[in-house]
Amino acid sequence: MFSGPLDQSILRRAQEKNLVEIRVHDLRDWTHDRHRVVDDVPYGGGAGMVLKPEPFFEAADALRQDESQVLLLTPQGERFNHATACRLAEARHLIFLCGRYEGFDERVRTLADREISIGDYVVSGGELPALVLIDATVRLIPGVLGDQDSAGQDSFAGAGGLLDYPQYTRPPLYRGLRVPEVLLSGDHEQIRRWRRKEALHRTLQRRPDLLDRAALSVEDQGLLSEIRAKEDGEMSNTRRGHEHR
């Protein structure tokens, strides 16, 4: 499950450049029986199997260093977001504990410095959530992304924590859909202003909660007023249209 994502693209390059070292361990390496069993039936009965505590504790004993942070992947954890990714990107050593089946023995939680969820849904194991955390975190490590694909412009990361502005590439006209004229103008100041306004507009429409927390400049406030004034104008035009009919 790990080899595909870890061996491709940005994660592969980050490892090749020695900006991050990622090791995958098999819990079965910390079992002591012939069949290398890591799960058992739940006390009290019920469906499915539960991961035993011993392999997790022995793995943590073997892998933990002074500077390690142990992260437990669980849908019951704090929801992962950009701010957490930034903090993880500064960490020296992270250990991700992945569950499977019905989950892990409750005592495994005592090993964790943080419990993290990737969202309010359940996937079959902690491997994909761990990969989501790893990818989101590694791309924030300085030097991992080139100038070409800088994380600084992405949604949530971009100045003030807004959604990203709309992106276009060639051709300028496709199936009747035209690239906004300003992007073809070569006027860098106009393009910068258009992008900022679009980022604000998009965030206002889709994630107004982000705007409440965003660090907005005086220019941003002005652009937002323009956006709101235009929307108010459009709304009253529509109302007038309805009344007219």
102 is catalytic: yes
Selecting among 115, 135, 154, 164, the annotated active-site residue is 154
Binding mask 34-73 for ligand SAM (x = CB under 6 A): ---------------------------------------x
Shortest Å distance, C-beta 2 to ligand SAM: 14
Binding mask 106-125 for ligand SAM (x = CB under 6 A): -----------xxx-xxxxx
Q: Which residues contact 76 (CB under 8 A, 6 or more apart)?
A: 115, 117
Selecting among 5, 55, 105, 139, the annotated active-site residue is 139
Selecting among 39, 58, 102, 115, the annotated active-site residue is 102
Q: Which is nearer to ligand SAM, 77 or 160 (CB)?
A: 77
Shortest Å distance, C-beta 25 to ligand SAM: 15
At 22, is the secondary structure helix, strand, or coil? coil
Shortest Å distance, C-beta 127 to ligand SAM: 8
Give per-residue burial for 144-176: e unless 16+ CB within 10 Å, then b: bbeeeeebeebbbbbebbbbbbeeeeeeeeeee
170 is catalytic: no
At 79, is the secondary structure helix, strand, or coil? strand
∠ CA 220-222-225, nearest 5°, is: 110
Q: Which is nearer to ligand SAM, 63 or 128 (CB)?
A: 128
Q: Which residues contact 205 (CB under 8 A, 6 or more apart)?
A: none
Q: Which two tokens stand for residue 182?
A: 């300003």
Q: In the sheet that 68-79 helps form, which strands lie side by side, from edge to edge?
A: 93-97, 68-79, 114-117
178 is catalytic: no
Span 67-96, contacts to ligand SAM by CB under 6 A: 73-76
Q: Using CB under 6 A, list all residues that contact ligand SAM.
A: 73-76, 98-100, 102-104, 117-119, 121-126, 129
